Amino acid sequence: MLEASHPPLPSNDTSETSCKLKNIAIIGGGPAGAATALSLLKAGKYNVHVFDANQGAKIKIGESIPPAASAILKRLGQSKILSDADHLDCTGSVSVWGDKTPGHNDFWLVPVGKGFHLDRYRFDQQMKTAAETLGARWFEGWQLRSVARRNTGFKLQFHLVNGSQRQLHFDFVVDASGQAASFARKLGVVRNVFDEVLCLCAIFSLPKNSNMTNRSLVEAVDNGWWYAARLPGERVIISLTSDVEIIKAKGLKDPQKWNDELLKSQFIKKQLPSKVLQQLPELQVKVARSSILSGVMGEDWLAVGDAACSYDPLTSAGITKALMHGELAGVAIDRAWQSKHRRTIVDYQTKVFEQFNQYVSLRNQLYRAETRFHKQPFWKNRLFLQG
């Protein structure tokens, strides 16, 4: 809900003059939305409003970030976030992929920063606090219901958690609403999906004084691939990524059957404490699409993070992409208004498209590297999608 201590919302009057600060709405309060707010407020003086449909209580699945994300936060002036004791150092990853021999990717060889396993709830709260400190106005429980173009900007209608409705005018809108792309889709922008996987995740408590590694763990299996990572607070996340049809056919949403599959793994199960293997999970389901909007910008809007494009979780690039988009978007919007030329917005879209093409190439390379299970449906599907 809107807190009484927040600065006032922008006027409903659409006849705002150019001498006033530009009003910007960011739809979505995750890393992409917060990074955009930070980038904008670092670049210039704007009235930045972040509308988060969530109310701060949603369970957030932890994620690992590579050193590249640390470098982006440093440029945004927020390097202290990852020095917080609530996050856990990640020294790299170990994967069993392509053959039975584990392969190692060591972050300590990368000179730009450190990798981390995040406490996602804490990380998002830190990003929110940083944006508010710079002047962003944050409104939780506001759901975007409709969008109407105006001569300049957009009229947005929101549904509030208390049941009331609000209509507000903004000069520019940033869609940071995740894969739903709730703003862009209301404009009729098409989302192109070329692959979709389902992740069945569970978070377990680790035994006291567990010696489980701080590295991310990945193992390819016949029905997809497993992921495990130690999280802050003596926890571990374990996830099975597969196709919807396979999960349905094998009943893997059933905790016992999911656990049975985990026990069939050759590598992951050996890295986990026996106490974890003996527990039945409380499964969370996460849809992960490889997708991109047909256009990620317009005259008075652009999309960032998963709203713009989403990646297969195998690349572990979700938060890094969100931060990168936010940084680029803030600079692009500021330069467009300073120069009174929209070329920088167009350049932002070009950059997003280029990065997505690079992602597709990497994704295809990773899936082609696993040949042991090429006759199994999950892997045949990935090869088919590569053409």
Find where tokens 């996340």 sit.
237
List pLDDT tens digits, range 19-70. Answer: 478 999 999 999 999 999 999 999 988 999 999 998 554 556 667 888 888 8
- Side-chain-side CA neighbours of 114 within 13 Å: the count stands at 16
What pLDDT shows up at residue 62? 63
pLDDT at 11: 53
Rounded to two decimals, the pTM is 0.91
Query: Per the structure block, which two tokens stand in for 329?
Result: 């978007």
Q: Are strands 103-106 and 92-96 parallel, antiparallel or unpaired?
A: antiparallel
Instruction: Write down the pLDDT at residue 174.
Output: 98
pLDDT at 3: 35
Domain 23-89+119-192+292-364, CATH homologous superfamily name and number: FAD/NAD(P)-binding domain (3.50.50.60)
Give the separation between CA 146 and CA 175, rounded to whole angstroms: 13
Q: What pLDDT was estimated at residue 107?
A: 62
Q: What is the mean pLDDT of each run of 10 residues along the chain (387 residues)?
A: 44 46 95 98 94 69 82 92 83 92 72 79 94 96 95 94 94 96 96 95 92 94 96 93 97 97 96 93 93 96 97 91 97 92 93 96 93 94 72
Task: Residue 51: name the closest of 153, 145, 190, 149 by CA.
Answer: 145
Give the Cα separation of 199 and 218 in Å (integer).
13
Q: With b meaning 16 or more CB within 10 Å and e meaning fewer, what string describes 25-45? A: bbbbbbbbbbbbbbbbbbbee
- Burial per residue of 107-125, b for 16 or more beta-carbon CB atoms within 10 angstroms, e otherwise: beebeebbbbbbbbbbbbe
